[in-house]
Amino acid sequence: MHYQTAWQWARDGKMPVPVTKTATGRYLVLEQPSERDGRTVAYCRVSSADQKADLERQAGRVVTAATGMGLTIADVVSEIGSGLNGRRPKLARLLRDPQVTTIVVEHRDRLTRFGLEHLSAALEASGRRIVVIDDAEVDHDLMRDMTEALTSFCARLYGRGSASRRAKAALRAARDAA
């Protein structure tokens, strides 16, 4: 948005957020308290239909852990699809729904393979958040980053189904050669 548009909106009282005019004539955007009255939803995902039984067990683990953290799960959204696939309609619906203030996942890769930090920052800007139950794999070590990058490249070359297996084999070969 252009600054003149923001100035006109503030002047005309059309600004979508609360603003106040300072003594110097500038408009100050007031901080809004974040609303935590929305719904908390558990998001569970597996990569293939063969893992459907794992999906149900994953949902049980997420609900149990979230309840232990004092969160009340309003709904469980389950989806089958690759973490590399950006076309997951149930996840997209969750992210678009402003009533969903908290999304709970078991592991960070159940939500997305890349960019979780960016997704979290974008949601936090609107008073929403992502809770990762088992955050032990968040260590920013080189091996995890290399595995994610290699998996992405393999997915483009060989297809999404065998990408993870081929990436791990390539890393094992590189480790054995060193």
What residues act catalytically? 47
Report the distance separating Cα 92 and Cα 46, nearest Å: 16
